[in-house]
Amino acid sequence: MSRRNITVLKILVWILCLGPLLTLLAKGFHLVNQDLGADPISVITLTTGHWTLILLLVTLSVTPARRITGWNWLIRFRRLIGLFAFFYGCLHLLTYICFDKFFDFPEMIRDIGKRPFITVGFLAWTLMLPLALTSTTASIRRLGKRWQTLHRLIYFSATAGVIHFWWLVKKDLRRPEKYALVLALLLLFRIFLWLLPWFRRPRATRQSLSVG
């Protein structure tokens, strides 16, 4: 794919990823017919949380899509989408800090300790933080092979995010179940990729390695 087409697609990705935030702002400032409803904090919290999970799963989908289709240019969008996932994760956390707890940090610390869904949600964001901080080209060059190892934390972050949402919802589990199913399929595909080199080895080599 040409550089011009990549640039056009990146602009489109920016527009699509910023769409949920712009929609929230439009509703908040009454620029559209809809508003944020009777509980705007809940709407903002759920919207930013949903898009954090959606973009995390899309980020994890890039490698399977690239391997299945052969479209290697897809890899150029993985970092951008991952950073947008972190961006919405930060908005989700800031909504909790600013509007739900009003900067009451002692109360937040108690929340993290006594409410499991808060604990695992904070863990999900914490695991995303080093990924965002090392997403630059300089970090990739500096860390070398360790960069790929570090960025496998995204699987643990996505898992913690799905658990966070599952424990939050409690009753209507249809949406968290869908997220969990997509994540499970992506994890199975990743396991398949890890095992593929093993199965491609000659049978005698596999047997000698398993005995050893």
Tell me the per-residue pLDDT of 141-163, one tens digit each, with 9 for 90 and over.
898 888 888 889 999 999 999 99
Averaged confidence pLDDT in the chain: 88
Burial of 78 (0-12, 13-18, 19+ CB in 10 A): buried
- Report how far apart, in Å, the C-alpha atoms of 57 and of each of 155, 157, 166, 199, 207 are: 9, 10, 15, 27, 36
Distance CA 62, CA 72 (A): 10
Q: How many domains does the chain have?
A: 1
Question: The tokens of 57 are what?
Answer: 């799963």
Burial class (CB in 10 A: 0-12, 13-18, 19+), 80: middle
Flag whether 203 is in a domain.
no
In a domain, 119, yes or no: yes
d(CA 143, CA 121): 27
* 12-26, 63-77, 103-117 — most confident range: 12-26
Whether residue 206 lies inside any domain: the answer is: no
Residue 113 is predicted with a pLDDT of 85
pTM: 0.88
Quote the pLDDT of residue 199. Answer: 53
- Residue 200: predicted pLDDT: 58
Q: Is residue 209 predicted with pLDDT exceeding 60?
A: no
pLDDT, mean of residues 58-83: 92
Q: Is 212 part of any domain?
A: no
Q: Report if residue 116 sits inside a domain.
A: yes
Place of tokens 């869904």: 117
Share of the chain above pLDDT 90, in %: 58
Domain range spanning residue 175? 3-189
Angle at 52 (CA atoms; ends 20, 166), nearest 5 degrees: 120
Mean pLDDT (whole number) for 96-124: 91
The C-alpha R_g of the chain, in whole angstroms, comes to: 20
Q: What is the pLDDT of residue 198?
A: 56
